[in-house]
């Protein structure tokens, strides 16, 4: 029981230290390397969600709850991705497949992101409507938007 | 093959003997075509075609394995797969030529078939880094396993390329050094042998051919649908 735990003197100090540490963490701006790592994890999560959508849409009897949940992850990523590329987190900051063009052609990059943002809601809507054919069509469209951006702004796999 | 290749003109005391039946030859050259197509489509990101090419390879491999048990005599594994002693004897030149694979060539056939099958199976489970493109059976594995399959799929291709290279070098060696046109034999099915002529291949019935095609097409169709109907 945490309440009891912190009643003891030594643990109270530990508890206070933890509060301070989390406050510092909240104020502390992420380093470029941390941003790159977090970005990588975001995209990995997106890839997993995308696979999960595909798994359900090709299943004989889809798990519609899982389908909607995964489509929601994709949809959220389409909104959040605008924040994943702050200046200074390109190839100059460490190992990343993000190309310098992201920052040298901001208008083009934004257009590519908007394409994803514009198509993802259709995937979510189709998943919520349990319309597998619409999910398949939207999956193809969203996948096209991913590729559109990757072709220009991501370096090829090693 | 658009170019007609002339059968080897038999020298004195030699005659043409049927070595490879039609299904074996069609499978061989289809494999060549689809391996090249698979490589090209993967390199150029045409993943829809890459999947179709892979399905084609899967069907061919299933048929070839079936044919290795039920096909014509020279296509059967029991006819050409030999132990190390036979291979050593062949290398010392102690093996008398009979229609079909020699003991060392048999090893290369088996290695190529095993690697091709491995390659195709890995492709069926592979997932790309974005979760966009994937093999039909990836639905049965996690994202991480699918990624591992994709990486092995890429690595296995390197091994396969080396083996194909070795296979081509061996065929060229026969052509240039031993003056035996193996490529022609794989196109028109016949090879020149000196007297006394060896037994030609014993063909398999058309019924078996139909059965093999149905089995290969059926299994492939089920795999493409991830066994969901």
Hey, are the CB atoms on A47 and B139 less than 8 Å from each other? no
Whole-structure pTM value:
0.84
Percent pLDDT > 70 in chain A is 84
Percent pLDDT > 70 in chain B is 93
Strand partners, B192: B16
Q: pLDDT, tens digit, for every residue of A57-70?
A: 988 899 999 999 99
Quick one: pLDDT at residue A28? 66
Quick one: pLDDT at residue B3? 43
The answer to whether the CB of B118 falls within 8 A of the CB of B57 is no
What is the mean predicted confidence (pLDDT) over B58-80? 95
Interchain CB contact of B135 with A (< 8 Å): no
| Residue B117 in this model has a pLDDT that exceeds 50 | yes
Tokens 């390397």 belong to A33
B225: closest chain A residue by CA? A58
pLDDT level of residue B128 (50, 70, 90 thresholds): very high
| Residue B64 in this model has a pLDDT that exceeds 50 | yes
User: Which of A73-77, A91-95, B37-41 is least confident?
Assistant: A91-95
pLDDT level of residue B100 (50, 70, 90 thresholds): confident
B126: closest chain A residue by CA? A51
Q: Which residues of chain A are within 8 Å of residue B136 when distances are taken between CB atoms?
A: 58
Hey, are the CB atoms on B143 and A157 less than 8 Å from each other? no
Q: Which residues of chain A are within 8 Å of residue B130 when distances are taken between CB atoms?
A: 43, 46-47, 50, 143, 146, 150
Q: Per residue in B107-135, is it b (16+ CB within 10 Å) or e — as a string? A: bbbeebbebbbebbbbbbbbbbbbbbbbb
CA distance B51 to chain A (A): 15
Q: pLDDT, tens digit, for every residue of B12-59?
A: 557 889 999 999 999 999 999 999 999 999 999 899 999 999 999 999
| Residue B10 in this model has a pLDDT that exceeds 60 | no
The answer to whether the CB of B190 falls within 8 A of the CB of B45 is no
Kindly list the distances between the CA atom of residue A102 and the CA atoms of A66, A87, A108, in Å, as whole numbers in the listed order.
33, 9, 8
A138: closest chain B residue by CA? B132
Quick one: pLDDT at residue B105? 86
Quick one: pLDDT at residue A19? 72
Quick one: pLDDT at residue B99? 81
Quick one: pLDDT at residue A1? 44
Quick one: pLDDT at residue B48? 94
Pairwise CA distance, residues B135 & B120, whole Å: 10
| Residue A4 in this model has a pLDDT that exceeds 70 | no
What are B204's two structure tokens?
């398999």
pLDDT level of residue B4 (50, 70, 90 thresholds): very low
Q: Please state the ipTM of this predicted complex.
A: 0.75
The residue among A47, A119, A120, A146 with the most chain B CBs within 10 A of its CB, best to mutate, is: A47
pLDDT level of residue A27 (50, 70, 90 thresholds): low
Q: pLDDT, tens digit, for every residue of B138-171?
A: 999 999 999 999 999 999 999 999 999 999 999 9
Q: Which of the pair, A76 or A30, is modelled with greater confidence?
A: A76
Q: What is the CA radius of gyration of chain A?
A: 20
Pairwise CA distance, residues B11 & A40, whole Å: 68
What is the mean predicted confidence (pLDDT) over B182-202? 87
- Mean pLDDT (chain B) is 90
CA distance B226 to chain A (A): 8
B224: closest chain A residue by CA? A58
Q: Which of B127, B129, B226 sits opposite A157 (nearest CB)?
A: B129
User: Which of A6-20, B62-76, B190-204 is least confident?
Assistant: A6-20
| Residue A125 in this model has a pLDDT that exceeds 70 | yes
Nearest to B160 by CA among B30, B31, B29, B26: B31
Interchain CB contact of B226 with A (< 8 Å): yes
Residues of A near B (Cβ–Cβ under 8 Å) read 43, 46-55, 58-60, 143, 146-147, 150, 157
Tell me how many helices (H) and strands (E) chain A has: 7, 0
Work out the burial of residue B70: count CB atoms within 10 Å of its CB; fewer than 13 is exposed, 13-18 middle, 19 or more buried.
Answer: middle
User: Which of A46-55, B7-16, B97-106 is least confident?
Assistant: B7-16
A61: closest chain B residue by CA? B228
Q: Which of the pair, A31 or A126, is modelled with greater confidence?
A: A126
Q: Which of A46, A49, A55 sits opposite B139 (nearest CB)?
A: A55
The answer to whether the CB of B133 falls within 8 A of the CB of B219 is no
**Residue B196 preceded by cis peptide, ω within 30:** yes
What are B50's two structure tokens?
């890459």
CA distance A105 to chain B (A): 23
| Residue A41 in this model has a pLDDT that exceeds 80 | yes
| Residue B221 in this model has a pLDDT that exceeds 70 | yes
What is the mean predicted confidence (pLDDT) over B59-70? 97
Nearest to B185 by CA among B94, B74, B82, B104: B74
| Residue A158 in this model has a pLDDT that exceeds 80 | no
pLDDT level of residue B91 (50, 70, 90 thresholds): confident
- What lies within 8 Å, CB to CB, of A101 at 6+ separation is A108, A109, A152, A153
């Amino acid at each position: 029981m945490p309440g009891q735990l912190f009643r003891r003197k030594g643990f109270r100090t530990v508890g206070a230290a933890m509060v301070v540490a989390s406050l510092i963490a909240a104020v502390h701006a992420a380093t470029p390397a941390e941003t790159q790592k977090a970005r990588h994890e975001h995209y990995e999560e997106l890839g997993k969600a995308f696979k999960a959508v595909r798994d359900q849409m090709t299943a004989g009897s889809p798990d519609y709850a899982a389908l909607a949940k995964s489509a929601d992850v994709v949809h959220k990523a389409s909104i959040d991705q605008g924040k994943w590329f702050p200046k200074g987190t390109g190839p100059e900051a460490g190992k990343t497949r993000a190309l310098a063009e992201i920052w040298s052609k901001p208008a083009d990059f934004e257009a590519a992101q908007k394409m994803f943002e514009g198509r993802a809601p259709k995937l979510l809507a189709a998943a919520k409507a349990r319309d597998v054919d619409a999910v398949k069509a939207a999956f193809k469209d969203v996948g096209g938007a991913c590729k559109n951006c990757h072709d220009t702004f991501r370096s090829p796999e090693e | 093959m658009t170019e007609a290749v002339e059968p080897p003109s038999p020298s004195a005391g030699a005659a043409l003997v049927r070595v490879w039946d039609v299904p074996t030859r069609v499978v061989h050259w289809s494999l060549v075509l689809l391996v090249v197509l698979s490589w090209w489509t993967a390199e150029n990101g045409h993943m829809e075609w890459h999947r179709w090419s892979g399905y084609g390879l899967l069907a061919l491999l299933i048929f070839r394995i079936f044919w290795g048990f039920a096909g014509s005599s020279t296509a059967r594994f029991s006819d050409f797969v030999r132990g190390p002693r036979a291979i050593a004897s062949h290398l010392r030149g102690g093996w008398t030529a009979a229609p079909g694979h020699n003991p060392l060539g048999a090893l290369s056939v088996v290695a190529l078939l095993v690697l091709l099958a491995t390659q195709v199976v890995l492709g069926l489970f592979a997932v790309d880094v974005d979760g966009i493109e994937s093999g039909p059976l990836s639905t049965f594995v996690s994202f991480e396993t699918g990624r591992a399959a994709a990486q092995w799929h890429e690595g296995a291709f390197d091994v396969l390329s080396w083996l194909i290279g070795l296979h081509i070098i061996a065929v060229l060696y026969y052509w240039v050094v031993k003056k035996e046109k193996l490529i022609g034999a794989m196109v028109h099915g016949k090879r020149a042998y000196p007297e006394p002529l060896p037994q030609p291949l014993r063909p398999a019935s058309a019924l078996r051919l139909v059965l093999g095609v149905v089995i290969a097409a059926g299994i492939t169709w089920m795999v493409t649908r991830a066994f969901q109907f």
